[in-house]
Structure 1
Amino acid sequence: MMTRREMGLGLATAASAALLPFPAHAALRISVRDHGAKGDGKALDTDAVNAAIAAASKAGGGTVLFPAGRYLCFTIRLKSDITLMFEKGAVIEAADPARHPGKYDLPEEEIDQLYQDYGHSYWRNSLIWGDGVENVAIVGPGLIHGVGLTRNGPGARWKAQTGERPLSMKDLPANAIGHLEPAAAAMRGQGNKAIALKNGRNVRLSGFSMLKCGHFAILATGTQALTITDLAIDTDRDGIDLDCTKGVLVERCRVNTCNDDAIVVKASYALGKAIPAEDIVIRHCAVSGYDLGTMLDGTRGTTQEFAPDRDRPTGRIKLGTESNGGYRNVLVEDCTFDHCRGFALETVDGGVLENVVARRLTMRDVTTAPIFLRIGDRRRGPAGTGVGAIRNVLIEDVEAIGIDHRYAASIAGLPGHPVEQVTLRNIRLTYDGGGTAADAALVPPEVATAYPEPSMFGTLPAWGLWIRHAKDITIDGLTLATAKPDARPPFGIEDAPGLKVTRTPLWRG
């Protein structure tokens, strides 16, 4: 007959198996406390945590449990066939090299950081990293608190240096740039990501919260079959970055990032070749640009006026900016945007953006343009990198209110490289209004090589929808309004052959 303790352990194991993304991991459960972790927020628990992971891996895989407590750690190294389970009340705190005796793993030596910035180029200088891991999960209602991580890192070592920073930063003094982008030598021993994944497969992240997590809360590069669900992320730079990934689902996540993008799909050159980001679904997510920490605490502060690029708070869902490999087969649906920039589709480094659907998006207090499509000619890539393309995009059932009057919804290609085959259907946009007759006379510059942002053209000469260098655009059901009068026309159209407009009350084409 089983004892009560054995029965309890059996029930706990069965319950864990039901909750785990990989039920087989429930067969072995190892607590980090069994390997000496204190969980008191004072002692460094890095060695104990890594010892627990190594023991589970040596046994063929299993679950590494973090009971309630505060675990102060430098780098935690993931291994295949491991689940990290955070119990309620468990906090993994990123140690600070300036205050604690230790450092984060050094960045990889073999990476040629030419065509993407420092943060995209390395993975090991993180709180938690895995390279080539498979069947891995991080789950549970705990918190990753990146207290000791830095949001900073050098820019790309690209000779041309064209389009490295938004035009809104052009007057930023050198010392301010230096603070945001220190030399690579200063980054050694620093950690600038909470979770970094490279070339893995079958990874599940679910149920936990993240606060103040450096350059990236989550960076997934070249990762396939990745599922991210039910996370709450409130951080000081990027939230979730999906770079050169394939087969990804991001669902029911709340991501607050006032200083950078919330959920972003990229196709950089970080793996040494152009790889597309493809087969990605982002749905039932909420993105925002509230003051740091105020999404998690529920206060939703709006005191921060500008992001570091000197535009208003960021947040948003975006494809870009790194776009060497392009993007295809991306679905964004049933998402909300609050106090942040709008939905952006960008290719500036030669990649093709195609087969993208965005539907049922709700936006409130939009800090730049609600919709922004841009082909640019930055070409940050090896010799032979060309100009990319945007084609076959459907954006439908979008409602946005409280939009900054300066930046209309925009579709902007280049001469000879038009944005093609885009449909806007059932779109309702309400702007703040207030544009002047002088604004209506403005002629936006081409700025072909500039970093893509809605503010790159300055205040636009139309307040509702601005299209330039586009082909075969269909507008079916676009309703525009302003909260106060605006002296500009609602539409600005230039070089847009094949434009079709139906069910659009203000259209006078």
Structure 2
Amino acid sequence: MGISLHIYGYARINPPDDRTNYALMNFHSSSSQALFNVRDYGAKADGETNDAGAINKAIDAAAASGGGTVFFPAGTYLSGSIRLKSNITLYLSSGSVLEAMDDPAAYDAPEPNPYDMYQDFGHSHWHNGFIWGVNLHDIAIIGPGMIYGKGLTRNISRDHLPKGLGDKSIALKNCHNVLLRDFKILHGGHFGILVTGVDNLTIDNLIIDTNRDGMDIDCCHDVHITNCIVNSPWDDGICLKSSYALGYKRATENVTINNCIVSGDYEEGSVIKGTYQLFPDSVRVSHTGRIKMGTESNGGFKNITITNCVFDHCQGLALETVDGGDLEDVTISNITMRDIYNMPLFLRIGSRLRAPKGTSVGHLRRVNISNIVVYNSDARAASTISGIPGHDIEDVQINNVQFFVKGGGTREQALITPPEKEDAYPEPTMFGTLPAYGFYIRHAKGITMSNIKIRCEQP
């Protein structure tokens, strides 16, 4: 039912016809994998027929043979739940689109999770994803095709989703050795990608143009995110989390984010098209689109690097621990930001403590931020480093920074004393107008700065 190939490590195969013109990732260096064309299993790719049965049949056949590549030739594959298995690669060829159905019975029901009171419903379930897998190893989704979450919902309550609805494009839990590379996600639902408890994860060269979170990396170890473009006007672009969804505290640690672009003010779909159409002023948009750690932060964040990234028409960096985890040992460097709708930098300890009883406030410490250029940010929202009484942010170094802000503050604003809001949801807007235009720092110690330049466009 396909072509048997011997692949060693990473390989790119370029035969003359489209059926076998694909790149293949094999996780076992000396094994052979077969190619399983979904059209051979009954997929119509006409954009009208439900191809879920054929797609899952091809995946089952590949798994039964010990692993293989499930190949999608050009066409539109309308589908409900696609269930991954170990040792499987999905290859989305050029011109192929996996389109999520809007049939209310097309998706698997969300599995029970006795710990879903500690994070929103969307973070607590995976079976209701468009493409999902739990307890798997050696899996990949690659190729220049597209995942279109047309039928996925984004408007769900914090604690419930009706049976049969899907709310995320890719959902993985407790997996290891995972590769996501080269494809596009349009209109991804609540999450374009949700990975929880996933280790040895590579996300490379994706374009995500979506209506809520681009990618959420939750309780994961050994993660590399590179060369990605994420446009998410209504929610976070690249978001690291450490929720309690696994039923225990687990840090997100050993993560690199390199060479990525995040944005928050382009109309959904225009980034994939290459037109980069800004929303008109008449449309209310939250302009989020940022890189963030939090809000879910039970397990904390450790050993994180973010470098060579661009923030475009969005909010700035946010580093938050409010649920008891420790956020520590973070390096951020070589960042440019332009047209920032709030503050460029937001570091926050809080006591929301959406966590099991007895959880104490965490720490935020040992953060190094350097070589940052910011143009046209809101002067009413100074970059903020704010702990809470009795819980200081510690040992933050900020070097070689240029901020060009709008200015226009008043004498009255300089006299404001912002509220503490110790247990509130953390957002850069939480304190309102601040009495500074460069940095606002409180409940902090060991903060060092050098070579800081701040210029206002108007007094």
Superposition TM-score tier, normalisation by shorter sequence? over 0.9
Asked if 1:382 corresponds to 2:356, the answer is yes
Asked if 1:420 corresponds to 2:383, the answer is no
Asked if 1:226 corresponds to 2:201, the answer is yes
Q: Is the 8 A contact 1:25 1:82 kept in 2?
A: no
Q: 296-305 or 328-337, which moves further after superposition?
A: 296-305
Output the amino acid matched with 1:29.
L
Query: What is the 5 A alignment of 1:134-153?
Result: 134-153=137-156
Tell me the secondary structure at the aligned position of residue 39 of structure 2: helix
Cα drift, residue 109 of structure 1: 2.0
Measured against aligned partners, the alpha-carbon deviations of 1:186-239 in whole angstroms (never above 9, x if no partner) come to: 521100000000000000000000000100000000000000000000000000
Output the amino acid matched with 1:69.
G
Q: Is the 8 A contact 2:316 2:337 kept in 1?
A: yes
Asked if 1:106 corresponds to 2:109, the answer is yes
Candidates 411, 419, 427, aligned match of 1:453: 427
Count of matched residue pairs: 446
Q: Is the 8 A contact 2:231 2:263 kept in 1?
A: yes
Q: Aligned residue for 1:83? A: 89
Q: Is the 8 A contact 1:111 1:122 kept in 2?
A: no
Query: What is the 5 A alignment of 1:127-166?
Result: 127-156=130-159
Equivalent-residue separation in structure 2 for 1:317 and 1:21 (angstroms): 30
Pick closer, same or farther for the CA change 1:242–1:10 going to 2, 3 Å. Answer: same
Pick closer, same or farther for the CA change 1:415–1:355 going to 2, 3 Å. Answer: same
Equivalent-residue separation in structure 2 for 1:328 and 1:112 (angstroms): 23
Q: Aligned residue for 1:399? A: 373
Larger relative strand fraction: 2
Cα drift, residue 416 of structure 1: 1.0
TM-score normalised to structure 2 length: 0.93
Query: What is the 5 A alignment of 1:415-494?
Result: 415-485=389-459
Q: Aligned residue for 1:373? A: 347
Cα drift, residue 405 of structure 1: 1.7
Pick closer, same or farther for the CA change 1:306–1:438 going to 2, 3 Å. Answer: farther
The runs of 5 or more residues in structure 1 that have no matched partner are: 1-6, 157-184, 486-509
TM-score normalised to structure 1 length: 0.84
Asked if 1:58 corresponds to 2:64, the answer is yes
Equivalent-residue separation in structure 2 for 1:430 and 1:22 (angstroms): 51
Tell me the secondary structure at the aligned position of residue 53 of structure 1: helix
Output the amino acid matched with 1:278.
E
Pick closer, same or farther for the CA change 1:257–1:189 going to 2, 3 Å. Answer: same
Equivalent-residue separation in structure 2 for 1:48 and 1:16 (angstroms): 20
Query: What is the 5 A alignment of 1:202-217?
Result: 202-217=177-192
Identity %: 48
Output the amino acid matched with 1:144.
I
Measured against aligned partners, the alpha-carbon deviations of 1:318-352 in whole angstroms (never above 9, x if no partner) come to: 00000000000000000000000001100000000
Pick closer, same or farther for the CA change 1:453–1:383 going to 2, 3 Å. Answer: same
Q: Is the 8 A contact 2:413 2:433 kept in 1?
A: yes
Output the amino acid matched with 1:122.
H
Pick closer, same or farther for the CA change 1:54–1:19 going to 2, 3 Å. Answer: closer
Equivalent-residue separation in structure 1 for 2:79 and 2:394 (angstroms): 49
Output the amino acid matched with 2:61.
A
Cα drift, residue 404 of structure 1: 1.2
Measured against aligned partners, the alpha-carbon deviations of 1:107-148 in whole angstroms (never above 9, x if no partner) come to: 002443110000000001010001011110000000000000
Equivalent-residue separation in structure 2 for 1:220 and 1:372 (angstroms): 24
Q: Aligned residue for 1:256? A: 231
Equivalent-residue separation in structure 1 for 2:42 and 2:409 (angstroms): 64
Equivalent-residue separation in structure 1 for 2:117 and 2:290 (angstroms): 27
Asked if 1:296 corresponds to 2:272, the answer is yes
Larger relative helix fraction: 1
Measured against aligned partners, the alpha-carbon deviations of 1:418-463 in whole angstroms (never above 9, x if no partner) come to: 1000000101111111111111111100011111111100010001
Pick closer, same or farther for the CA change 1:426–1:446 going to 2, 3 Å. Answer: same
